[in-house]
Structure 1
């Protein structure tokens, strides 16, 4: 059973993450289809996940749910209240992709970042081949700010990583 609702959208709610959610997060977060789009060269363990969810003071994580069914994970990390920015991460389980859940979950998370936390900027990094994630960022108003050439090494290849940014004043709910 997912944790308590934190933010409600039209089709997706963001809920607090509980240890009961770890099986879903580990299964899908370690799925090759998800890892192909994100720099996760080694499997995430239950201990890694618990440390991120329970002990990382510079992050906030949400389970994205359609009704009571978990469909993905959205999070802010490297939250720096002194510099007023954070980085956004998001994935949707492969069998739930293509339904608009990533865009809505990320928008709710951004509403929290800018509205509740008062951040000035949120950044996101995406592999250049991850068209779906770039489409989500585009829909949310992110602007490409740079290219980190051959930044990440995944499965025997270096990949360019594109850097995107969104200022609070550019975000429209």
Structure 2
């Protein structure tokens, strides 16, 4: 097991694996309403069995090199996560995403964690394009894309049916050469 420090206050990024299903479910329960404002994760992890199945699906994606899932811990407590929902090494594309429970909002944890995973996917897996899709109403997620130096590619109008309502999806991206150039400046 490994952990990557995200700050001087003890925040860490670690793999989020099926054996952590109880901890994952407790975390989702703490933030269910907040997390579920824009993403369906709380609708997929409703009990221990579905939580384990969700984590197992990402363990399988990791084994197939088609996705990854990491948890964010502060003071030993799981408070959020970042992931590659999709990863196509042959095409050189990946889609990153995130979520947090309310207690962890506003601390820069997601931005720091996503920087770590984008660094990894660009440098280790040679991904050329990292995408970030967010509901146009999800201002915090869009702010993360901006802080990461991503470019807004456009809006997919009413492309996403969620809880009975159609939502616009903003598509943001960063290309490997842009990512590397920005990292040189930082």
TM-score norm. by structure 2 comes to 0.81
Q: Which residue of 1 aligns with 2:44?
A: 43
Q: Which has the higher contact order (CA 8 A, sep 6+)?
A: 1
Residue 65 of structure 1: CA displacement?
2.0
Residue 15 of structure 1: CA displacement?
0.8
Residue 126 of structure 1 aligns to a residue in which SS? strand
Residue 119 of structure 1 aligns to a residue in which SS? coil
1:79-158 paired onto structure 2 within 5 Å: 79-158=87-166
Separation in structure 2 between the aligned mates of residue 49 and residue 121 of structure 1, nearest angstrom = 25
C-alpha change, 1:126 and 1:110, in structure 2 (3 Å) is: same
The CA deviation string for residues 94-153 of structure 1, in whole angstroms up to 9 with x for no partner, is 211111111111111111111222211100110011000100110001111121111112
Q: Which residue of 2 aligns with 1:161?
A: 169
Q: Which residue of 1 aligns with 2:17?
A: 18
Separation in structure 2 between the aligned mates of residue 41 and residue 29 of structure 1, nearest angstrom = 6
C-alpha change, 1:126 and 1:99, in structure 2 (3 Å) is: same
Residue 163 of structure 1: CA displacement?
0.7
Residue 44 of structure 2 aligns to a residue in which SS? coil
The CA deviation string for residues 52-97 of structure 1, in whole angstroms up to 9 with x for no partner, is 2321221111111234332211111221111111000111122111
Consecutive unaligned residues of structure 1, counting only runs of 5 or more, are: none
Higher helix proportion, which one?
A: 2
